[in-house]
Amino acid sequence: MAMNKRACADAILLLCLAVISCEAKGRIVVPQHVPGFDHGSDLNRYNKPDHSQNIFNVLQFGAKPDGKKDNTMQFQRAWNAACHSKGNARLVIPKGTFLIAQVRFQGPCNGPGPIIVQVSGTLKAKTDVSLYDSPEWVVFESINGLVVTGGGTFDGQGPAVWKYSCGRKAHCVRLPESIKIDKVTHGVIRGITSVNPKGFHVFITNSQNVRAYNLHLIAPEDSPNTDGIHISKSDLVKIGRSFIATGDDCVSIGQGTTNTSVKKVQCGPGHGLSVGSLGKYDDEEDVRGIIIKNCTLSKTENGLRIKTWAGSPPSQASSLFFQDIIMKDVNNPIIIDQAYQSGRNKPSLVKISDVHYVNIRGTSTSKVAVNLVCSKQVPCTNVRFSNINLKYTGAQRQGLLPFSSTCVNAKVGYTGFQSPPPCR
């Protein structure tokens, strides 16, 4: 019976996403096929070169794996040669430590199939931020068909510059993210480690049909603004089977993200799994069709969070599904915060609707385990809770306070077991 119920729930989620996808921006988007590109289970065939590929090893372009020589120009030349090749191309970064500043791996490329970037060594970022023309380190841009693989490491050397981070200031230039995927269609990033980024570990934006999985993203829990994976203005992104321990959100879903899933992610330490923040800027695009499922959060500052800026311009976040989540000593396990950065006096105008929390279980260090603070101007609607089983494991000095839920400006419904008790 339990298996039948779970299968039914999965079918409903898939059906909802199919409907959402058809309605997104009033059209159905069918990405252009890339010959030889397979998003399925046969991705292991991209791990090693084959006879059909033209190999471009950065060593052949003068790169030195000594961790001291600046290899930026050599990497750029190797990429240009691979991208302009008319056959199937593989850029190889072998074992060793390569020091580089900002590099831009830009398309479109000439090959018939996906261009493969095999990172087997360690890339080490230069620490002088004046060498970065824009807030990114390694950029993959305007590419139709991309595979980044190889088991290598991106070391952002963030500790040297974190003191310059602007943190949560509204207007500030952010530090470079380690990996940026921009305007990429049919992309895969897999089996990569990122440590100590200056800013975000991975930023996916303006992209479609991208998968990121088997990633290890690691930074100290007090490192500023080091989101694990941040997504914006992208459709059909799938994040899976990854370990993220960092100083900010493990995954943050920003404006314009649609039809996106986050599954089997281990998060912690960090600030949790977040939709938002939304509403910081004018004319933000809506967020729609998000599934976060089968994830585990351990000792995070927040659990499942939706956050919008107070005083924000109008936009919407809808059809958000959080299912089969395990919490381990998590602060604020379930939270909607529409007064984020509450220095603004006006209410948020981001409309939140159709939010589903299903099978959420584990332990909370907050006595208020479900905390919904929605906008008085545009209240949250159709927020549904099904089978919530959280237990309090926090400080005993809070023992006299009830384990509870808070709902402000929210229309909420419940089915199944509820702990903490529902809002009244």
Q: Annotated active-site positions, please?
A: 271
Distance CA(313)–CA(373), nearest Å, equals 18
- End-to-end CA distance of the chain: give it in Å, rounded: 32
Dihedral angle computed from the Cα positions of residues 62, 66, 70 and 73, in that order, rounded to the nearest 10 degrees = 30
Contact 148, 220 (CB under 8 A): no
CB atoms within 10 A of CB 104: 17
DSSP calls for 341-365: TTTS-SPP-EEEEEEEEEEEEEEES
Distance CA(200)–CA(372), nearest Å, equals 27
DSSP calls for 144-178: EEEEEESS-EEE--GGGTGGG--TT-SS-PPPPEE
Helix (H) / strand (E) element for 293: namely strand 287-293
Q: Which of 213, 181, 215, 180 is nearest to 40 (CA)?
A: 213
Q: Where are the alpha helices (DSSP H) in 32-99?
A: 72-84
Residue 102 DSSP label: -
Both tokens of 233, joined, read 């203005």
Contact 265, 231 (CB under 8 A): no
